[in-house]
Structure 1
Amino acid sequence: MENIIQPDHYKIDKPASWAANIDDNQLVEYIQESDFSRQQTEEGRDYCFFLDKIYYTSDQENSEYACMAYTLNEPSNLERASVTDVVVEENETYIIHRISVLREGVLVDKIADTKIKVLDSENQSGGGVLSSNKKINITIKDLRLYDVLIMEDSRVKVFTERDFLRKEFSKFVWISPDSYWAYGNYKFTFFNDREKTIAYKKTFFRDEEENVLEPEINYLKKGEKFIIDKQNYINYVDSNREISSYIDFATESNWNDLSNYIAPIYDDIFSKASLKDFAPALVEKLDNISSKDEQLQFAIDYVQNHINYIYNADEMNGHKPQEPSLTYENKQGDCKAKSVLLKVVLDYIGVDSAVVLVNFNTDYYIKYYLPSLLTFNHVIVKINYKDETYFIDATTRDEFGLIENRGYIFFQHYLEVKPNQDLQIKKPHRFAYNCIDEKSELKVQNNIGELTSITTYKGNRANYMRKYFKNNNKREIIDSWNSYYFYTLNYNNDRNGTDVRSIFKDAKIEIISDNKQLNEYTIQYKSTIENPYFTDSEKNRFLMYFDRNLIKNNARDFMHKDILFWHNFDNEKYEFTLSTDLKIDTDEKFTVQECTINNPYFDFTSRKKITKNSGTIFIDYKPLVNIEIPNADFEDFRNAHHTVSDSNFGIGIDILEEGLMNRLKFSFKKFIK
């Protein structure tokens, strides 16, 4: 084996005493064909003869052991097996116990054919992500189709002082295996060697009729093990519609005790913080602002935009934040450091706030998890101001506005860093403003259309649109708007394949205003359209406006059995006028149709104003967001969205063509209605 590495990150050694002890003869005995294995091969599925996984935790280390033997019958699987990467953290070691293949009944040691490199895992350092993780690259030469590959290895993470939280608490989530694999024998063991009791919670396990069972909680004292042992096993979970069963292992505790553990750590940091002492220049600027609203805006803007966000993965393993004086002096820090500094500034200006722990990635599952501080991976700030509650992510950049106009963060669960706290749920929300407010007109004279649209974005939409206009060139932006109207005006159905630039002549887009306090960003789009009418196969002409963004297909198509639908849409308001110098059918269904929806989770109205030469639609959509739709309410919620999609998301006007035959055709249409 070519050894060009640093020995601290990996080594070749025997398994630990708590792991399995399998000799070569036993390996060959375990790798035996059966009716079950032959069936998997016939179905084109790769087959794992056995997988033995052990998770071991003590007060000094966390370790994972695995021994598995699986077929390389598929070329793609052979390719993946030939070159693999293992990422290890600081003070974590990857230990290889065995790399072998069973080839035509003969066991072949492949250690000598294995090349290992250790690489820095720093692919995000340019974005402020710092990590001392290492990537162990393993290349195994001369693997062949129909080999059986045997891999036996471990990962051992020895705790340092920086890992004080992981020394104090354990957390591990076992997830049922990928449904692709079939296993002759599948075994998982959780071994608690800690002084404290570990609870484990079985969630989303199912009975024989595939009904979800009630969660089950049990406990492991020091020296006790939890074991799953299955033969001829395939995980039949439908991952598109079901949550795979999992078991959450965590040191026995409750949210109240955990908050009492973490709060003194932060209080110790706050006790050392005096903004006047370490940031006199910042204090002077704050004192010169007379408005409390503007003071608050300045405080948030300062921490978000003037303190660089540095994500140090090693520091995030614990929960002890950097002192605010260092964050201010160095002008950088991770989410904990930035949030603590923001709270210190808010304390100075007399605004009530708290640091809170969140995990946006696993937010849905937190309600099912056992209480654990290791559930959280991010820190933000909760602000109570003028009888309203706001959440600010201090790591966000390029966000603007007084606090009520800033971007809204969608999530549910959080733990305040205060004594005697329980896990809290963020309340559902109604926007006090329209996130999109658009007024447009397509005015047609002499078969030439003039399209004008003025749109005001607010909140998250304004923040996003500023970045979009800043980071993209004008031509790309105009093409994006042209493409939007190509579909909205239904040109895709009578001139599909046509270059949109040839349809929307002299298209222009410009920023009309950018109000940083109101966080409102207004743009104007203009273009000229030759032949602006949509023409059907019978040469009938129409003007149409149907904005399919108003159809929430993810709500209409949602089919998951276990996960509730997460409602996180924006307030939207539109006014669109279609006008022409020709007569229109003022009684046509799609011209006059209106609707009113008052669902508990959203209000939607479409109103029309029709004249002999024009039609205007007014659409107002106001959802209740940051909420899961209960199963009992979901079909009514879905049907309400079906109503929106039933031609209530736009307007069409039919042109009454001149001439006797056209008048007769129109009269006949009226007659048969």
Structure 2
Amino acid sequence: MDNQIEIENYRIRKSEEWAGNIDDQELINRIQDSDFARQQNNDGKDFCYFLDKKYHTSNTENSEYVCMAYTLNEPANLERASVSDIVVEENEVYNIHRISVLRDGVLIDKIPDTKIKVLDSENHSSGGILSSNKKINITIKDLRLYDILILEDSRVKPFTDRDFLRKEFSKYVWVSPDNYWAYGSYKFTFINERNEKIAYKKTFFRDENGNVLEPEVHYLEKGEKFVFEETNYINPVDANREIFPFIDFATDNNWIELSNYIAPIYQEIFNKSSLKDFAPNLVDKLDSMQDLEEKIQFAIEYVQNNIYYIFNADEMNGHKPQEPAVTYENKQGDCKAKSVLLKVILDYIGVEASIVLVNFHTDFYIKYYLPSLLTFNHAIVKINHKGEEYFIDATIRDEFGTLENRGFIYFMHYLEVKSDQELKERKPHRYPYFCVDEKVDFNVKDATGKLVLTTTYKGNRANAMRRYFKNTNKREVIDSWNNFLFYSLNYSNDRNGTDIRNIFKDASIDIISDDKKLNEFRIQYNATIENPYFVDPKNNRFLMYFDRNLVKTSARDYMHKDLPFWHNFDSEKYEINLYTDQKIDTEERYTAQESTINNPYFDFKSRKKVSKNGATVYIEYNPLVNLEIPQNEFEKFRTDHHTVADSNFGLGIDVIEPGLMNMLKFNFKKRFK
């Protein structure tokens, strides 16, 4: 350990003074068997004798230190330990302090047996994503089952001028460990060496009965530490139904202070130059349009489709956007650059717009986090138009429609880039249109069925279907519809194993229309079906069409204790017509049953029209979306979805077989059922 090996992205060296220093004998003394350790071994688990983790932050760098010793009793863990990858950001250095094993009571230095390669990190390296990240590949020779592996390392991220936001603000989220591992000793330390006070908030910790405790907020002045320490520790969280306890550390600020910090940075960019100066051709195009809705659509789609999206991972560490003139000239930019250009264009045509900061991945947690600009990882545009709020992601491609017909982005929390702003929550949303509007016609004559589906998609569904048909082989598309219909018509229960292409003869699917202003995409599916009836084991014949898209399994099966159910279903409308040249049972439950559900979070209605030779069902499903269902209201929500699943998501008709005996049998069943 005396030789200090230094490479650009990693070093082999002693730990820093703030991390402490542990000698070999102390390591051996800390690796002691106990009843707790033996119990884990008897249970067939690997065991971590100790994990000591420290996070150190200052106004010049962030550092993270780990020292740990764990068993390699499982082949999978041995394999992972033998070859591992560490990804470091630009200007970040990975320090290796110790790689050793304790084998039969003897401590063996494994650094001489370690091979290290530095590679470009290929993760997310295409599709306009630029990154200076490096991947450090570490291979340790001759690790053996039942070794105890000891790793001591740290990561240091010095701040450059590009990291101006990290210099000003700190944010770190500690999450309690995976509950697979048992720890003889677990210790986490947060060290504040910044000039500013850091707040920390403990969230989703629980009492002895498993009840979530109220969050606690405390503060660390410069030089102070926070320590979380446990012995003989297994994280008790129920990983499938509970949120792991976490602690959010952030420089002590409120949202108004943060918005007042970021707003002038963007305003300076907006004031650099006017659209007329740097984009005269674009201005001429806008000026030639008479309709404001057309101008808005053109502006959005111009930025989305003509400005190439480059996600520069290094630039995203700060919030200073690229000037709109540069974005326009180079025809490329990240989310901030594209959003700023779109706002400048909207300003020119007189449409109120602003930049908003979001994080779609951690949206649920933002209300629990402490205020921090480092919470956000994406910028989009908010438009106020005709009394409505619209949110546009300028980085998405191939989206269409005038403003009210465009796709809807699901998220709740955002910070508007203006002065004196608080964190905001979006309003719940009810679609002004049906995302799916489908008519099903299934007519059977002389034992042959003619099936026609005509479907209109709007909003997100139209955009998605347009892309799907553009990028997918026609035969694959038809097979997908055939497979869906195989279950919808209940053929899976009387001819399972049959080649689906032999059931749906001459199947075809065609685009009927594509209106890019209304954002409506209409298709039609046609097929001929021999033996169209579902036949039960008693040789009774039925026509059935049940669309399982209406059965919201995710709502019916949801069991999480901490996460409220996020409601984001599409509005849907169906007309299903099943007709035959046979006489049917007009009073059968599946044929006659109707339903009306008025839940606070969705309305559902099914209405029937029945004749002697068939029936029609009209179904409408209108949800209130982009919201969390409160836990005290969820069971009613779940029960109402069970009602939808109770034969209210389609239509079935029973054929009355011809002949005197069959008629007598039918009348008898009707009388006594």
TM-score (norm 2): 0.99
In 1, Cα distance between equivalents of 2:588 and 2:232: 64
**Counterpart amino acid of 1:627?**
L
Confirm or deny that 1:515 pairs with 2:506.
Answer: no
Q: What SS does the aligned partner of 1:268 have? A: helix
**Which residues in structure 2 correspond to 1:75-86 (within 5 Å)?**
75-86=75-86
**Counterpart amino acid of 2:336?**
K
**Residue number in structure 2 paired with 1:451:** 451
**Which residues in structure 2 correspond to 1:317-328 (within 5 Å)?**
317-328=317-328
**Residue number in structure 1 paired with 2:223:** 223
**Cα RMSD for the two superposed structures:** 1.0
In 2, Cα distance between equivalents of 1:8 and 1:196: 31
**Counterpart amino acid of 1:253?**
N
For residues 172-231 of structure 1, the C-alpha deviation after alignment (integer angstroms, 9 at most, x for no partner) is 000000000000000000000000000000000000000000000000000000001111
Confirm or deny that 1:236 pairs with 2:199.
Answer: no
In 2, Cα distance between equivalents of 1:599 and 1:314: 47
| Residue ranges of structure 1 left out of the alignment (5+ in a row) | none
Q: CA deviation at 1:125?
A: 2.6
Q: CA deviation at 1:663?
A: 1.3
**Residue number in structure 2 paired with 1:484:** 484
In 2, Cα distance between equivalents of 1:73 and 1:361: 35
**Counterpart amino acid of 1:137?**
N
Instruction: Tell me if structure 2 keeps the 8 A contact 1:6–1:118.
Output: no
**Counterpart amino acid of 1:312?**
N
For residues 30-84 of structure 1, the C-alpha deviation after alignment (integer angstroms, 9 at most, x for no partner) is 0010110000000011000000000000000000000000000000000000000
**Residue number in structure 2 paired with 1:585:** 585
**Residue number in structure 2 paired with 1:279:** 279
**Counterpart amino acid of 2:670?**
K
**Counterpart amino acid of 1:567?**
H
In 1, Cα distance between equivalents of 2:442 and 2:54: 67
In 2, Cα distance between equivalents of 1:364 and 1:463: 26
Instruction: Tell me if structure 2 keeps the 8 A contact 1:443–1:450.
Output: yes
Q: CA deviation at 1:369?
A: 0.2
**Which residues in structure 2 correspond to 1:536-547 (within 5 Å)?**
536-547=536-547
In 2, Cα distance between equivalents of 1:122 and 1:34: 43
Higher mean displacement: 6-15 or 295-304 = 6-15
**Counterpart amino acid of 2:385?**
Y
**Residue number in structure 2 paired with 1:375:** 375
**Which residues in structure 2 correspond to 1:191-202 (within 5 Å)?**
191-202=191-202
**Counterpart amino acid of 2:235?**
N
**Which residues in structure 2 correspond to 1:26-45 (within 5 Å)?**
26-45=26-45
Q: CA deviation at 1:126?
A: 2.2
Q: CA deviation at 1:236?
A: 1.4
Instruction: Tell me if structure 2 keeps the 8 A contact 1:192–1:220.
Output: yes
Instruction: Tell me if structure 1 keeps the 8 A contact 2:555–2:565.
Output: yes
**Which residues in structure 2 correspond to 1:379-418 (within 5 Å)?**
379-418=379-418
**Residue number in structure 1 paired with 2:613:** 613
**Counterpart amino acid of 1:47?**
F
In 1, Cα distance between equivalents of 2:122 and 2:330: 22
Instruction: Tell me if structure 2 keeps the 8 A contact 1:358–1:379.
Output: yes
**Counterpart amino acid of 1:98?**
R
In 2, Cα distance between equivalents of 1:537 and 1:280: 74
Confirm or deny that 1:104 pairs with 2:104.
Answer: yes
Q: What SS does the aligned partner of 2:17 have? A: coil
For residues 84-126 of structure 1, the C-alpha deviation after alignment (integer angstroms, 9 at most, x for no partner) is 0000001100000000000000000000000000000133232
**Residue number in structure 1 paired with 2:301:** 301
Instruction: Tell me if structure 2 keeps the 8 A contact 1:441–1:451.
Output: yes
For residues 546-589 of structure 1, the C-alpha deviation after alignment (integer angstroms, 9 at most, x for no partner) is 11110101111111110100000011000010000000000111
**Residue number in structure 1 paired with 2:553:** 553
Instruction: Tell me if structure 2 keeps the 8 A contact 1:122–1:130.
Output: no
**Residue number in structure 2 paired with 1:251:** 251
In 1, Cα distance between equivalents of 2:6 and 2:437: 59
Aligned residues: 671
**Which residues in structure 2 correspond to 1:119-138 (within 5 Å)?**
119-138=119-138
In 1, Cα distance between equivalents of 2:421 and 2:229: 39
Q: How much identity, in percent, do the aligned residues show?
A: 71
Q: CA deviation at 1:538?
A: 0.2
Q: CA deviation at 1:668?
A: 1.8
Instruction: Tell me if structure 1 keeps the 8 A contact 2:413–2:426.
Output: yes
**Residue number in structure 2 paired with 1:213:** 213
Instruction: Tell me if structure 1 keeps the 8 A contact 2:6–2:12.
Output: no
**Counterpart amino acid of 1:584?**
I
In 2, Cα distance between equivalents of 1:376 and 1:551: 35
Q: CA deviation at 1:6?
A: 8.3
For residues 443-497 of structure 1, the C-alpha deviation after alignment (integer angstroms, 9 at most, x for no partner) is 0000000000100000000000000000101000000000111000000000011
Instruction: Tell me if structure 1 keeps the 8 A contact 2:383–2:389.
Output: yes
In 1, Cα distance between equivalents of 2:220 and 2:6: 37
**Counterpart amino acid of 1:465?**
M
Q: What SS does the aligned partner of 2:257 have? A: helix
**Residue number in structure 2 paired with 1:628:** 628
In 1, Cα distance between equivalents of 2:523 and 2:239: 42
**Counterpart amino acid of 1:423?**
L
**Counterpart amino acid of 2:239?**
S
Q: What SS does the aligned partner of 1:284 have? A: helix
Q: CA deviation at 1:661?
A: 2.0
Instruction: Tell me if structure 2 keeps the 8 A contact 1:69–1:151.
Output: yes
In 1, Cα distance between equivalents of 2:526 and 2:64: 61
**Counterpart amino acid of 1:602?**
F
In 1, Cα distance between equivalents of 2:583 and 2:238: 55
**Residue number in structure 1 paired with 2:639:** 639
**Residue number in structure 2 paired with 1:93:** 93
Q: CA deviation at 1:671?
A: 1.8
Q: What SS does the aligned partner of 2:238 have? A: coil
Q: CA deviation at 1:631?
A: 1.3
Q: What SS does the aligned partner of 1:126 have? A: coil
In 2, Cα distance between equivalents of 1:188 and 1:174: 9
**Counterpart amino acid of 2:302?**
Y
Instruction: Tell me if structure 2 keeps the 8 A contact 1:273–1:344.
Output: no
In 1, Cα distance between equivalents of 2:125 and 2:298: 29
In 2, Cα distance between equivalents of 1:249 and 1:427: 29
**Residue number in structure 2 paired with 1:420:** 420
In 2, Cα distance between equivalents of 1:669 and 1:410: 51
**Residue number in structure 2 paired with 1:353:** 353
**Counterpart amino acid of 1:360?**
F
Q: What SS does the aligned partner of 2:429 have? A: coil
Q: What SS does the aligned partner of 2:563 have? A: coil
In 2, Cα distance between equivalents of 1:423 and 1:181: 37
| Residue ranges of structure 2 left out of the alignment (5+ in a row) | none
Higher mean displacement: 500-509 or 121-130 = 121-130
In 1, Cα distance between equivalents of 2:499 and 2:20: 65
**Counterpart amino acid of 1:173?**
V
**Residue number in structure 1 paired with 2:571:** 571
**Counterpart amino acid of 2:19?**
A
Q: What SS does the aligned partner of 2:433 have? A: coil
Instruction: Tell me if structure 1 keeps the 8 A contact 2:206–2:213.
Output: yes
For residues 328-369 of structure 1, the C-alpha deviation after alignment (integer angstroms, 9 at most, x for no partner) is 000000000000000000000000000000000000000000
In 1, Cα distance between equivalents of 2:436 and 2:229: 55
**Which residues in structure 2 correspond to 1:151-170 (within 5 Å)?**
151-170=151-170
Q: CA deviation at 1:8?
A: 1.1
Cα 1:6–1:433 shift into 2, 3 Å: farther
Q: CA deviation at 1:242?
A: 0.1
Q: What SS does the aligned partner of 2:266 have? A: helix
**Residue number in structure 2 paired with 1:68:** 68
In 1, Cα distance between equivalents of 2:516 and 2:481: 24
Q: What SS does the aligned partner of 2:295 have? A: helix
TM-score (norm 1): 0.99
**Residue number in structure 2 paired with 1:184:** 184
Q: What SS does the aligned partner of 2:430 have? A: coil
**Residue number in structure 1 paired with 2:331:** 331
**Residue number in structure 2 paired with 1:51:** 51
**Residue number in structure 1 paired with 2:312:** 312
